[in-house]
């Protein structure tokens, strides 16, 4: 059975900043200093825990692969993803 939707609101401030409501942070499993990802699809935005999203992407890429990547390969992928996040900058 599908989970019911959870809806909350937040105000966009002058610099485009939004405080993520505590209940939403709890559901996403994010805390101070954690990273989130914004996924825009068909005019809607999903906010996800970046670490969870990275793991989901890795698992999707691994579908059908005969051998798992080494710890070094996983660490390299994570480093590359983090570099990409840091290169985007903050407005």
Q: Other CB atoms closer than 10 Å to residue 65's CB: what's the count? A: 8
Name the DSSP class of 22: H
Residue 86 predicted with pLDDT over 60:
yes
Q: What pLDDT shows up at residue 58? A: 82
Q: E-strand spans in the chain?
A: 36-41, 44-49
Residue 67 to residue 19: CA distance in whole angstroms? 41
Q: What pLDDT shows up at residue 87? A: 64
In the chain, where the domains are located? 22-88
Nearest to 4 by CA among 26, 25, 27: 27
pTM of the model: 0.58
pLDDT in tens, 11-67: 999 999 999 999 999 988 999 999 999 999 999 988 999 988 888 888 888 777 666
Residue 41: strand, helix, or coil:
strand
């Amino acid at each position: 059975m599908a989970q019911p939707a959870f809806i909350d609101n937040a105000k966009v401030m002058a610099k485009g900043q939004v405080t993520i409501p505590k209940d939403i942070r709890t559901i996403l499993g994010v805390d101070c200093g954690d990273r989130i990802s914004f996924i825009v699809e068909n005019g809607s935005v999903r906010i996800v825990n970046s670490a969870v999203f990275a793991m989901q992407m890795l698992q999707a890429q691994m579908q059908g692969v005969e051998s798992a990547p080494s710890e070094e390969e996983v660490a390299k992928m994570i480093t590359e993803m983090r570099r990409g996040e840091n290169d985007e900058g903050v407005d």
